[in-house]
Structure 1
Amino acid sequence: MAGDSLTASAPVASSDSASAGVSAVDMEGGWQPAKWPLPRVAAVDNLAAALSSRGFTDGVVRVLSHAAVRPDELRRKLADPAELRVQGGTLLIVETRLWSAAVVPHPANPREYGRRSYALGGAAANLRVLPEPTTSREGLAELEILVDSPSTLAQRLEDAQGRLAKENPLGEDVAVDGVLQPLTVVPMTVRHRDGYRSAPLLIAADGSSRISAVHDLLGYAPSKVAYEWSRDSRLFRREVNRWIRLVQKLGWENLSDSEQQRVRVLTVPTRVVIGFRPNERTNLPFHTAVRNFIGLTHIRPPKPYGSAVENEAKADAVLDTLAQPTRTRPARITELEKQWFAGVVTHEEAIDEGFSPHRDVRAAEVLRAVLGSSARRRVNDGIRSLTAKQKPTREDRVDIAVELIIRPYRTEMNDLVQFVRPRRAVLQRAYRLKEIDQHMTADLRLEGAADGDASLERLRDDALEEVEYGLGDNGELGPAQTELAVKACYYMAVADPMALQREVFGGAGHEDDRSPATVLRAMLSRSRGVHQAYEVVRAGRRGERLYEVDEKGARVFSSGGEPRELTDALVRHAYNGESATGFPAAAGFTAASRHWADVRAKVDELTRAVDAMAAVPVDEGGRSLVERDGWDDVQIAELRRRLDRSDRKLATWADTYDSNRQAAQEQADEDQTSSLPGALQ
């Protein structure tokens, strides 16, 4: 099907956490699935006959034949199944798409290990662990499980769905692109001790989290799938057909977002186990082979690549999305920029193509391309193409940008971990500077860019003007300060010794636990810091060592007459967050700006405190205490009165500012009118 791969991957590579990604069909608004029709009854009957001929039990024949989105295709594939080796034998599988309303999570999901309640420990009957499925009595490629009653299984399926949705949340992932990696589906018959008739199921031996996310999105109760739709084909087809008719009636474009999300997960790609061939030596039973398969997938998966390698792969995927035009929007970067950012062109080739020879300029351009708000959707699409993360964070985007930025440095250092790792960490923390997103946008030309004409000196002077205006002290750097911080940070991080390092906690003389981003903001908020950043960039571009400068930008010398080399300790001491004189300003805009930054910080702290209180559960793993019981209304009323007074005061300041701005604009308009030729005297 368009936009979804049905190619079976090795069992070790298929895991719930990596099951959903982004489709290439429509990166702007999510995957648009094919318009699957409701299968003809004759096609369903033909598939049922083929399944019966392979020896499947009647219940499994019924549920599997109705589950197939394309029964004719599945029937043809039965004649030539693929082989999937597991410890002790070979599973015979066919790849096909099934209706989501026919598949349930594994009722004895191994994810419950570690919290299961056992009878020997005195667990209540309704909380005890379900028995492990065994091979069907008929000896086929079917499982069988014995439970006390339908309510026992139904409750366990409901609990499993809720737990999986909480512990391995994939709902937002599958809502955009459906399920990409196939679920491994195994037929299973449920038998009941209370004499209730058996129930045939199709369980996700590998993929319970995915199908739980799908059911949660569709609003399906697993018990309904297991005990109603699996028995009554008419009810099952009615449920499927209501979504098919909705698409036919309204058309995809006219569906609401929530309706489109549900249609995307109406079907799931699967590999259905239809046979088993044990090794002659082991004569392993089918249920043990299935358990081995699950263990190979989740208990002993491949060793992770590591965050650096993962960020490298995601970085290339992000560059692909930025350089690829969509149906409605042009590419964000050119193919040449893509090669420059990727580091696959030589230094000389980059210069010949008009790119800057300076690595700090390249770093700034990469940050602008990856962190700019206008490109956020495409960057997230690139990340989703390799991960199951539907909502990548800003930190994810920063880490990817940094991995691109340090590629040349890594190469020069031969990937020596002791040199590369600390510099990667510093850049990742420093480039969390929030002003980057706001100021380094596509419509703002950077110093050193191919289409820019600003000099480094002009950037320094603009940053000095922003310092005079109080930017930085008010909690936010200006555009020039931000760009200069980004460029100086690169050389401060890669220098030896490093002039900017990770925050250090504890110990006499090492109490400065500010992050590199915070230190940069403090530095660029001072005139001396702007001169220092300018000198860092100037020296860095020349390949010179970094030295400390004073208020006028002149080098600082030690008592022995040697220039003082810039170190992290010197930077943190010189720019400790206080005013240049060492005393906080007592009046004027600078003093007010510092208090405003404190107000914002305290509001953020209040918000976090409220959220933390809301997260306190009634008991471990339970719902929120305050959401259930509330809080003392007298205490809340008193606190709200205090907040209301502050709120009214803030509103008054805003009104005053707005009135002054309007008055200034009116005066400016009046002055302009009076200066026009022929104006009335």
Structure 2
Amino acid sequence: MTDEATAELFDDGTGWQPEPYALPRTAAVANLAAALFGRGLSEEAVEALARAVVQPDDMRRKLTDVNKLRVQGGTLHIVETRLWSASVVPHPANPREYGRRSYALGAGSAAAPGLLPEPESAPGDGPELRIRVSHPSVLAQRLEEAKQRLVKENPLDDDIAAEGVLQPLTVIPMTVHHESFAHRPTALLITADGSSRISSVHELLGFLPAVIAYQWGRDARAFRREVNRWLRLAQKQGWDSLSPAEKGKLRALTVPARVVVGFVPDVRAGVRFHTAVRNFIGLTHIRPPKPYGSAVENEAKGDAVLDSLAEPTRSRPARITLQEKRWFAGVITEQEAAEEGFSQHWDVRAAEIVRTLLGGGVGTTRRVNAGIRSLTAKQRPRREDRVDIAVELILRPVRTEKNNALQYTRPRRAVLQRAYRLPEIVDLPADALLEGAIGGGQSLEELRDAALKEAAEGLGASGRLGIAQTELAVKAAYYMVTADTMALQTEGSGAARAEDSRSTVGVLRAMLSQQRGVIQAYEVVRAGRLGSPLHEVDEEGTPVRTAEGGYRELTDALVRHTYNGETFTAAAAGLPAARARWATVTKSVENLGQAVQHMAAVPVYEGGESLVEREGWDVRAIEEVRSGIDKISRKLADWGDLQHAQNNEEEKDVDLDAAGLW
């Protein structure tokens, strides 16, 4: 649909007619800039904000009596005004993208030079954010991607074309510092709330966020020419003579805004400005009206929890260092993590996150809960809430490595959330892990031996695992869940669900209670760290071979049978054998789905769109594959119909017998 056709839908004479704004005098802009100095803003931010205001004299008067907005951790000073939409960009690190965001830890040696860090507070106590990027192209690309995604997922341009932006945007100054680009910092006005609205405005007007940031933001004359182009159009033709599309654009030329011009932190909280901004975003979006979704919410809560753990209070020191915070957040590369002394093994990182967020007793729980409450105002977060947040932090590099494949991530997220509800985790020491700790600790073999000793003493079998058993369980579970073939699944899933409905925690505890299970967990961790497939081992740690001579793959069904008081043998006939073959069928379907997705990911050119989604694929080849799939589908349907018919016949026999008819 063209711009004209879209606008016609709303051109019924009832649309909003904006005031006939005029381009402000440069003297008025300079006077506003002078009034803004001394409020903790950088020179660049002052210039950008003064230029963006539609009525500078009005805002200058309002600065003498600002509105105050209470957020957790402090008070924001707000001035309500109108801004030229050509001066505002969406939040480049918009939290709505959390669920698909890539992180440096997991990006491999390429280390994603385009990854964008979280904005931080600018020096001092002013109401300004600061972000560091390697090059202007990095930010330009992120701004454009953010705009396109927001416009696609939450399109508002039709409504804005009819009525303009109704609810004010919350706008915050942010300076961009470039590491490999010799230029003064670039000042942006970003939306802490309202990125979808400003993105739809830009879509309507044809504005590019990168042009706003790096052309109009640096060239006041170019900026004023762009704004004046639209103002002169309205003045020359008159409102009634404008086309519907032109009216829609003029309605979007300015936006109402609540501009943050000051910040006063709570003395007790010690919260910095960037944390207060995130708290505001969380209370606006993670709570209604439009939740981001559980995975995204848990990611946002994860950053808030890390902030809480890394900040000292009046009575307690910081729980983690700033380096640990960055490692847990996944925002450093593997090389940087190694230089800081962190383990290269992801199971150690997972165990450190679990210990830090879930272990350590009441003191840790209070700190984690404080972080959760900063976003949700939830007074009594549950242990399950803390587990889900820990799992989301653990999965950040995994999702990045797997290119955010939802079919891979979703089941593994669910199983890890269940596995790490193991009650014994709360007993993990607050100071350090037994194995893999910075500066020493036990070796993996020593952890295994300590766990074997605990198992020999009856720990686990008596109802509760020991410290070493628990740590080994946490590390083994990580690889058993994240392996391509999951060796640990949720209750109610997998080939063994008909016979074994134990929870994931129950299976883990049963496994680590036995000598063989401890040896198996040790071998899982060892293989996982090497990137090798997971295989079953016997009591001596020797890999078990199949009848064909290969190594037996470790599966959920095998684990459940082995650590359920039964001996698992590879059946050649009957229901056990059929279940094993069915597991192969379901795995093949999963592989087919992944293969199709991988093909769809092939671009026309590097960095371009999908080749098959733009050009399609050979019809005959597709028909041949679909024909094969249809045959398989009919065969499976026949099996299902047969089983359904037999079940109905059995139920009929039971009813007749109960009625005394046989």
TM-score range, shorter chain: 0.3 to 0.5
TM-score (norm 2): 0.43
State the structure with more CA Rg: 1
